[in-house]
Amino acid sequence: MSSIRKMAAVASVAGAFFYTVAAHAFSWAPINPDELKMTAEPKAPGAAAIILEKQVDRDDAWSRVTVYVRIKILTEDGRKQADIEIPYNKNSETIRSIQARTIRPDGKISEFDGTIYDKVIVKARGVKYEAKTFALPDVQVGSIMEYRFLHELPSYYVYDSQWFLSEAMFVKHAMYSLVPNDGYELRWSWPRGLPPGTKNPVEKNGHIRLETFDVPAFISEDYMPPQNDLGYRVDFIYLTRARATKEKIPANYWQEIAKLLCGDADRFMDERRAMERAVMQIVQPGDSNDEKLRKIYTHVQHLRNLSYEKVKSEQEKERDKIRDRSTVADVEKYGYGNATELTYLYVALARAAGFAADMAFVATRNNYFFEPSVMNPNQLTSNVAVVTVDGKEIFAEPGVPLVPFGLLPWYESGVSGLRLHNKGGSWVKVPLTKASQSVTSRKASFKVDDGSLVGAVTVTYTGLDAIYHRLEERYDDDAARKEYMESELKRAIPISSDVKVTNSPDWNGVETPLIIEYEVKVTGWASAAAKRLLMPIGVFSFGEKHTFEPEKRIHPIYFHYANIVDDEIAVEIPSGWHVVSSPRGRDENIAWMTYSSSVEPKGNAIKIKRNLAVNGVYMPEKYYLALREFYQNIRANDEEQMVLSPVADMNGAKDKK
C-alpha cells in the first residue's frame, strides 16, 4: 500500500514543475523510457517497488503543501502500492486536486477517474487515522504509477513544519522546497543527519531547497519509537520575533525561553482576587488538600474546552461569538478556554486555595523524543499543572478532557518539562505511570456448544487504557463506537468470531472505568480428535500471536505505557464430558515484563487465568532476542490444549480394569 506519511499534520511530497497553484495548470512530466524498461534497482535489491521521483513543495506563507510521487512496480507484491492512502486531519485540513495515472510497460496510459473515499483506517493495536483513499487502475509488474495532490493546512500552521526524507520505499530521487513564513524568525536543523551524499539545505531567492538521491527504505517494526523521530528529516523552527534568541548554549537558551514563557504565564494568571472569589465557590473550609485539588480539577474540566471541539465553519463561529480571553478571570467568567488557558486557570485557582502550583510546558513523546540540545521550543507541545503538597509533586492535566485527576495522557508521561517559577524555570521529569494504573480486565463466561464457545464477556478498562479509548472515540457516534469496540475484541480472538456489544458504555466518564459488555460466539474453538475434544486455552491471545516474530531487530522496543492485561475465563463443558488433561500453569519473567497462566478444572467447569504485564516502555534492541524468546514461550503456552473425553468412555475404561 502506498502511503505518504503524517508529518504531525501530514508529511507531503509535491512537484512545482507540474503544478502551479495560482493558475491551476497541470502537466505530467515526460516518462523516461529507461524507467519503463527497469526490472530492478541495484541499490535496493529485492525491492517490490521503489519511488522514482518525489518532490515536496511546502509553502508556509499560505499554509499548503503540493505533492507528487512517481512509483515503479518491480514485482507482483509491489502491485499493492496501487492502493493509495493520503492521511490528513479531516477536522482542520483539506486534501484536494488529486490526480493520478498508470503507465503500463508498453507505454499505454490509464488516467484515474475513479472514486476517492474518505475512510477511517484502523491499523494494528487499534490505531486509527483519517485518509483519502483510492485505487489506481491497470497496475501491472513493470508499470509506473504517479499521483499528485494539494494539502491545505490550517491557516498560519507553521509550528510543525518539516520535510520527511525517509519513506517505506527506496527513494531514487527527491527534491524539497520551502517558502518560509516571513512573519517569524526561522532556523532549521536535521536531528538524525541527512541521507549519505546529501548536501545541506540551501536558501536562495526566498526558497529553501534540498535534493537527495538513493534514500534507503525505512524499515518499520512493531513497537518501535515514533517513525518521525527515527527517520531522516529536516525541522523548520519558527519563533515569534519576541521569542527569538541568539543564545547558543542550551542551558542558557532554555533559561531565556523560560523567562519569556513565565512572563506570559504571569500576565495571564495575574487575577488573584478574582481567583480567590472563585475558589470560595468551589471548595469548603473543611476539605482536605486532596479534596480541594480534586474539586478545582473537576470544576475546570467541566468548562468548555475549545481545543477539543470540531473545527467550525465561519457561520458557526459567527453564531458562537467566542470571545477572546486575556486572563484567567475571562476564562472563568465566560466558561470556556483552550487547553492551555484551562491549565492556567487550574494553576491560578490552586494558588488561590493556598497551594504551591506551577505551569510546566512538556515535550510529548508521541511523535518525537525531545532533545534539549536542538533548542527547539516548538517541541514543548503541551502543558501540565505541577502542585506540591507535603513535599510531593502532583501532576495534573485539566486541559485534556476525560483524564482523571492525578493521571496524564500517556504521551505526557515519562517526558521532560520546563517548570515555570521565580521569573524563570527549571527542568522537571514527569514520571511514568505504573502498570497497575492501567489495566484491561477481560472476564468471560462461556459454554461449549457443538464445538463453539458461546457466552458473555465483560471488558473493563482503567487508567490510561480507559483514557485512550475514550479520547479515541470522543467524536464518534454510538454506532461507530460500537463497531470499533466490537472489532477491538475480535482482534484479541485468534479465529473468526461473532461479537456484539450489549450495553451502553459510559464514554464521558472521567473517574470511572470504561466497561464494555459483549455477547460472543467463537465458532470451532473445540475440535474433535477421535472421541475427544481438544480446546486451546488462549481465548484472547491473538494480540501476542505474531508479536516479535522476526529473528532480527533494527530499532529499540517501545511501548506507549506500562499496563496489565488480565483475563479470567470460565468455561462450562458439555454434559457427559470430562477434562482428561489440562496444561500446567506457567510463569515467565524478563526485564520489565511478566506473564502467568493457570488452568483449573472443577467438575463440569474450567477456570483459565492469564496475566501479561508490561512494566516499562523502552528497551534497547540488544535485548530483543530475550524478548522474542519470552513471546515465543507465551505463544507456546497459549496454544496448549485441554483434552475432553466422554464420561461413558472413562467409566468403560474403569470397568475393564
Which pLDDT score, from 0 to 100, does residue 21 have?
Answer: 37
Where does the pLDDT of residue 27 fall: very low under 50, low under 70, confident under 90, or very high at 90 and above? confident
For CA atoms 72, 77, 83, 87, the dihedral sign is: negative
Buried b (16+ CB within 10 A) or exposed e, 66-95: bbbbbbbbbeeebbebbebbbbbbbeebeb
Alpha-carbon gap, residue 126 to 129, rounded angstroms: 10
| Average pLDDT, integer, range 388-399 | 95
Question: How far is Cα 475 from Cα 481, in angstroms, rounded to an integer?
Answer: 9
C-alpha cell of 161? Answer: 513544519
Query: Is the distance from CB of 527 to CB of 534 less than 8 angstroms?
Result: yes
| Res 494 pLDDT > 80 | yes
**By mean pLDDT, which of 110-114, 170-174, 317-321, 482-486 is the weakest?**
317-321
Query: 272, 327 in Cβ contact below 8 A?
Result: no
The per-residue pLDDT for 9 is 33
Is-contact 218 171, C-beta < 8 A?
no
Give residue 24's pLDDT.
44
Residue 253 C-alpha cell reads as: 537558551
Q: What is the DSSP string of 383-427?
A: EEEEEEETTEEEEE-TTSTTPPTT---GGGSS-EEEEEETTEEEE
CA distance 319 to 400: 25
* pLDDT above 80 (res 591): yes
Task: Report CA-CA distances (Å) from 249 to 282, 374, 415, 462, 644.
Answer: 45, 10, 21, 43, 71
Do domains 2-239 and 250-429 share one topology? The answer is: no
Nearest alpha-carbon partner for 367 in 120, 156, 66, 129: 129
Q: Which CATH architecture has domain 250-429?
A: Roll (3.10)
Residue 647's pLDDT is 83
How many whole angstroms separate alpha carbon 557 and alpha carbon 576?
48
Question: What kind and span of H or E run contains 226?
Answer: none
pLDDT digits (tens, 9 = 90+) for 283-295: 999 999 999 999 9
- Residue 233 CA to residue 484 CA, distance in Å, equals 34
**CB-based burial, 492-504: b 16+ in 10 Å, e otherwise:** bbbeebebebeee
- At residue 138 the predicted structure's pLDDT band, cuts being 50, 70 and 90, is very high
This prediction's pTM: 0.88
* Radius of gyration (C-alpha) of the chain in whole angstroms: 28
Q: Are 95 and 131 in contact (CB under 8 A)?
A: no
Q: What is the pLDDT of residues 617-646, one digit of tens each?
A: 999 999 999 999 999 999 999 999 999 999
**pLDDT number for residue 12:** 34
pLDDT tens for each residue of 171-193:
999 999 999 999 888 999 999 99
What is the CATH T-level fold of the domain 2-239, as seen in this structure?
Immunoglobulin-like (2.60.40)
Mean pLDDT of 433-461: 96
Residue among 525, 466, 447, 471 at smallest CA distance from 493: 525
Torsion over CA: 417, 419, 425, 427 (sign): negative
Q: Which region, left, alpha or beta, applies to residue 360 given φ > 0 means left and ψ of -120 to 50 means alpha?
A: beta
Question: Cβ distance 209 to 196 under 8 Å?
Answer: no
pLDDT of 59 above 70: yes
524 φ/ψ angles, rounded to the nearest 5 degrees: 75, 25
For residue 123, the model assigns a pLDDT of 56
Average pLDDT over residues 579-603: 91
* Cα dihedral sign, 335-339-343-344: negative
435-648 domain in CATH 3.30.1130.10? no
Query: Residue 4 in contact with residue 95, Cβ under 8 Å?
Result: no
Domain parsing of the chain, residue ranges = 2-239, 250-429, 435-648
Q: Determine contact, residues 179/206, Cβ cutoff 8 Å.
A: yes
pLDDT at residue number 655: 43
* Digit-coded pLDDT (tens) for 76-96: 999 999 999 999 988 788 999
CA separation for the pair 323, 50 (Å, rounded):
51
- Unique residue bearing C-alpha cell 467409566: 651
Nearest to 127 by CA among 91, 95, 87: 87
Task: Look up cell 468548555; give the residue.
Answer: 304
The DSSP code for 126 is: G
Q: How many CA atoms lie within 13 A of 92 on its CB side?
A: 14
Burial 18-50 (b: 16+ CB within 10 A, else e): bbeeeeeeeebeeeeeeebebeebeebeebbbb
Q: How far is residue 547's CA from residue 628's CA, in Å, rounded to a whole number?
A: 8
pLDDT score of 353? 97
Average confidence (pLDDT) over 589-599: 93
For the segment 252-262, the average pLDDT, to the nearest whole number, is: 93
Q: What pLDDT was estimated at residue 529?
A: 86
Give the 3-state DSSP-derived string for 10-53, with helices as H, strands as E and coil as C.
CCCCCCCCCEECCCCEECCCCCCHHHHHCCCCCCCCCCCEEEEE
Per-residue confidence (pLDDT) for residue 656, from 0 to 100 = 42
Over range 353-359, report the average pLDDT: 97
Query: For the residues 505-515, what does the mean pLDDT come to?
Result: 96
Label residue 545 by pLDDT band (50, 70, 90): confident
Q: Which helix (H) or strand (E) holds 263?
A: helix 250-269
From 191-195, 206-210, 219-223, 313-317, the region with the lowest mean pLDDT: 313-317
Q: Are strands 144-152 and 94-103 parallel, antiparallel or unpaired?
A: antiparallel
What is the rounded average pLDDT of the residues 442-459? 95
Alpha-carbon gap, residue 407 to 436, rounded angstroms: 13
Question: 509: part of which helix (H) or strand (E)?
Answer: none
- Give 618: exposed, middle or buried? Use CB within 10 Å, 0-12, 13-18, 19+: middle
With a cut of 60, say whether residue 1 has pLDDT above it. Answer: no
446, 483, 443: which is closest to 573 by C-alpha?
446
- SS3 state at 241: coil
Report pLDDT for 172.
Answer: 98
Mean pLDDT of the chain: 90
Summarised one tens digit per residue, pLDDT across range 548-580 is 999 999 999 999 999 999 999 999 988 888 899
User: Are 163 and 5 contacting, i.e. CB atoms less than 8 angstroms apart?
Assistant: no
The answer to whether residues 532 and 425 touch, using CB atoms and an 8 Å cutoff, is: no
Across 179-208, average pLDDT: 94
pLDDT at 103 over 60: yes
What sign does the dihedral 590-591-593-599 (CA atoms) show? positive
Q: How would you class 621 by CB atoms within 10 Å of its CB: exposed for 0-12, middle for 13-18, buried for 19 or more?
A: middle
Contacts of 503 (CB under 8 A, 6+ apart): 515, 516, 517
Q: Is residue 425 within 8 Å of residue 261, measured between CB atoms?
A: yes
